Amino acid sequence: ILIGDHRVERSDKARNIGVIRMYLTFESTKTLVHAYVTCRLDNCNSLLLGSPDYIIQKLQRVQNCAARLVAGQPRAAHIRPVLKELHLLPVEQRITFKVLLLTFKALNNLAPPYLSQLIVPYNPTRNLRSAGKHLLEVPNVRLKSYGDRAFSVATPKQWNDIPLDIKLSGSVDVF
C-alpha cells in the first residue's frame, strides 16, 4: 500500500491468519487480527485527520478485510453489519473518535502536557451565551490545506461540534 510517499509492505503474517482461520476460534482470530491489523490502524491515527479520501479508503479496505476474516464472511458480504457486530467504527469515524478522546484527556489533565498546551479554552471578553458551553478557541491559520489538519486547529473545531453532555462526561469510560 502506498500512503503519501511512504510504502507499507504487505504483511505475510496478517495474510497467514486467513490460511489458518479454520483452525482458530472466534476469540483467537479476533486477538490475532487486533495484534497485526487493528493496532496498526490506530497507531498515530490522529496524524491522518484531514487526510485525502483516497488514503482513508485504502485503510478502510484493510479494516474491512480484517473484519470479514474475523467474522468468517465472504468477500461479497456487506461490511456494515460485520463492523457493527464486531463493534468497530469505520476508519474515518475512528480517527475522529481518537482525536476527541485525546482532547478530552488533555482538558482533564490525563494527557501529556505538550498536548494540553495546544488546546486553549474559549473565554469571551464579554457576557455571551457561548460562555458556559465549554468551547475551545480555534486559532487562525494561514495555510488552508495543511494548517487545518494541525492538531491545535482541527481539535477545537471537532470539540465545538459535539453536544455539551458529552463534553461534561466525568470519566474516559463515559466519554
Q: Is 106 exposed, middle or buried (0-12, 13-18, 19+ CB in 10 A)?
A: buried
pLDDT tens string 115-168 = 888 888 887 777 766 666 788 888 887 766 666 777 788 888 888 888 887 887
Q: What are the grid coordinates assigned to 29, written together?
A: 482470530
pLDDT tens string 79-125 = 999 999 999 999 999 999 998 898 888 888 888 888 888 888 887 77
pLDDT value of position 80: 92
Write the DSSP string, 32-95: HHIIIIIHHHHTTGGGGTT--HHHHHHHHHHHHHHHHHHHT--TTS-HHHHHHHTT---HHHHH
The verdict on pTM exceeding 0.85 is no
